[in-house]
Amino acid sequence: MNEFIDMEFFSLLSNQSWFAKWGEKFYNAWINLSGWKLFLDGLKVTLVVSAVAVLIGVLVGFILALMKLTEVKKGRRTILSTIAGIYIDIIRGTPSLVQLMIMYFIVFKSQASFTAGMLAFGLNSAAYVAEIIRGGILSVNKGQMEAGRSLGLSYGMTMRYVIVPQAIKTILPALGNEFIVLIKETSVISFIGVADIMKAGQFLISRTYEPYVPYISIAVIYYIIIKILSLLLNAFERRLRKNDTR
C-alpha cells in the first residue's frame, strides 16, 4: 500500500503539465492581474489596522486591569472594578465579528470603515489584555508592594517601577499570543469593505473565478507575518530573561 502511494506521489511530481498548470495560475493571478500589488496594499492595511488595534488594546487593557485591581486594593468590589468586569464579560461573551458590525453599522452609521475596524478590534483585544495584565500583576509577590511602600514610594510609583516590570516577564508569552490572534482576526475586516489581504484575495477570485491561488496566497502571507512576529517576540522574551537565574 505504501509503495503504491509513493508511486502515485512521484508520478504526480513528474507530471510537468500539473506544475505548468499551477505555475500558469500563479503567474496569471500575481503578474497578469497585478495580484502582488493588491496583496502588498492589503498587507499595509492589515499591518496598520493590527498595529493601531494592538496599541488601543494595550492602553485600554491596562486601564481596565487597574480598574479591576481596585477590588484587590480595597478588599471589596468597587464601582471601577464592577464597570471593568461588566465590560470584559460582555466583550469576551460576544463574537468579534458581531462587535465589528455594531461598531460599523450602528456607531459609525456605515461610514469610516477603517476607523471602525481599528476601534472594534482594539476594544475587543483590550478585554483579553486586561485579564492578562491583571493576572501578571497579581502573580508578583505581595512582599514587593510592601517593600516599595516601605521605601517611601507611592502606590503608583511602586506599581510603575517595581510591580509592572516584574509582571511583564510573566505576561509576555500570553500577550504575544493575544497579538497573534488579533492579527488573524483582522481578516474579517473585509466584511465592512476595508481593502486588506482578504479583500485583495476576494478581488482576484472575482477576476479569475478560481479560489485556489488567492486563498493559498492569503494563507502564506499570514503565516509569514505570524512567523516573523513570533520570532521577534521570542527574541524579546529571551532578552528580558537573560539576567534570570532560573
Could you count the other beta carbons within 10 Å of the beta carbon of residue 138?
15
| DSSP state for residue 196 in the 8-state scheme | S
Q: Are 215 and 201 in contact (CB under 8 A)?
A: yes
Could you count the other beta carbons within 10 Å of the beta carbon of residue 160?
13
How far is it, in rounded angstroms, from Cα 1 to Cα 11? Answer: 15
Alpha helices in the chain (DSSP H): 2-13, 16-27, 35-74, 79-93, 96-101, 113-139, 142-150, 155-158, 164-185, 197-208, 212-241
C-alpha cell at 235: 527574541
Q: What is the pTM for the complete model shown?
A: 0.82
Q: Are 213 and 133 in contact (CB under 8 A)?
A: no
C-alpha cell at 19: 506544475
> Dihedral, CA atoms, 27, 33, 36, 38, nearest 10 degrees?
-150
Give pLDDT tens digits along the chain (246 positions).
Answer: 444 444 554 455 555 575 667 677 777 777 776 778 888 998 999 999 999 999 999 999 999 999 998 888 787 889 999 999 999 999 999 999 999 999 999 999 888 889 999 999 999 999 999 999 998 888 888 777 777 777 777 777 877 778 888 888 888 888 888 889 999 999 899 889 888 899 888 888 888 888 888 898 899 999 999 999 999 888 887 877 675 554
Q: Which amino acid, one-letter code, is at 58?
A: V
- Mutual angle of helices 35-74 and 164-185, in 10-degree steps: 140
Q: 30: phi > 0 → left, psi -120 to 50 → alpha, else beta; which? A: alpha
